[in-house]
Amino acid sequence: MMWYKVLASSAMSAAVGLPVAVTFLDTFGYIAQVMGVSMQPTLNPDRKTDYVFLNKWKVRHFELERGEIVALLSPKNQDEKLIKRIVGFEGDVIRTKNKKRGVSIPKGHCWLEGDNSKHSHDSNDFGPVPVGLIYAKASRIVWPPHRMGKLKRGEIHEDRYVVKQNPKVTLFPNP
């Protein structure tokens, strides 16, 4: 009869623990592996894999700033997740990587680029991105240990061509 008590106790723990864990992951965030070279040198600088905390709580009201690193669903393939830096917001005019034309960012959109512009699939390829595709901010490197620390809002590199910047951006104003 002892196995019955162990099984009942385990089932009760799972019944309480699982919803708490799911709520935490859906509300606050989780740790994710960053793959690829598109965010070098900020992430994966030595071609080894970084793990970051993706903070979902910070994007619940779309309080985003230029220079922040965000996680999003790819606008071309909703099954693919990307991590990029915010370069511009609605009302900004961005000169694309090939420097041939300026792109005006429409309402509810932003311009995202990888730090490694030669190896990044980003807004230079697919244009302005709906802000609603952003689901988290990358707030900390949590692994490897020698790289642990907060990810600071980065300066927009000089090779990112912001022609005109909208000084006051309110993506979704409170009524």
* pTM of this structure: 0.79
DSSP assigned state of 63: -
Residues 6+ apart with CB under 8 A from 51: 31, 32, 33, 34, 141, 142, 143, 144
**Quick check: is 38 catalytic?**
yes
39-63 burial: b if 16+ Cβ within 10 Å, else e: bbebbbeeeeebbbbbbbebbeeee
Selected catalytic residue, list 13, 56, 74, 84: 84
pLDDT > 90: what percent of the chain? Answer: 31
Q: pLDDT band at residue 8, thresholds of 50, 70 and 90?
A: low
pLDDT at 175: 43
Mean pLDDT throughout 59-87? 90
DSSP string, 85-134: EEEEETT-EEE-TTSS-EEEPPTTEEEEE-SSGGG--SHHHH-SEEGGGE
Greatest CA separation for the chain:
77
**84 counts as catalytic:** yes
* Mean pLDDT calculated for residue range 85-94: 89
- Which tokens is 61 given? 């009201």
Q: Which two tokens stand for residue 129?
A: 């991105």
Average pLDDT over residues 18-27: 57
Which residue in 9, 13, 38, 48 is the catalytic one?
Answer: 38
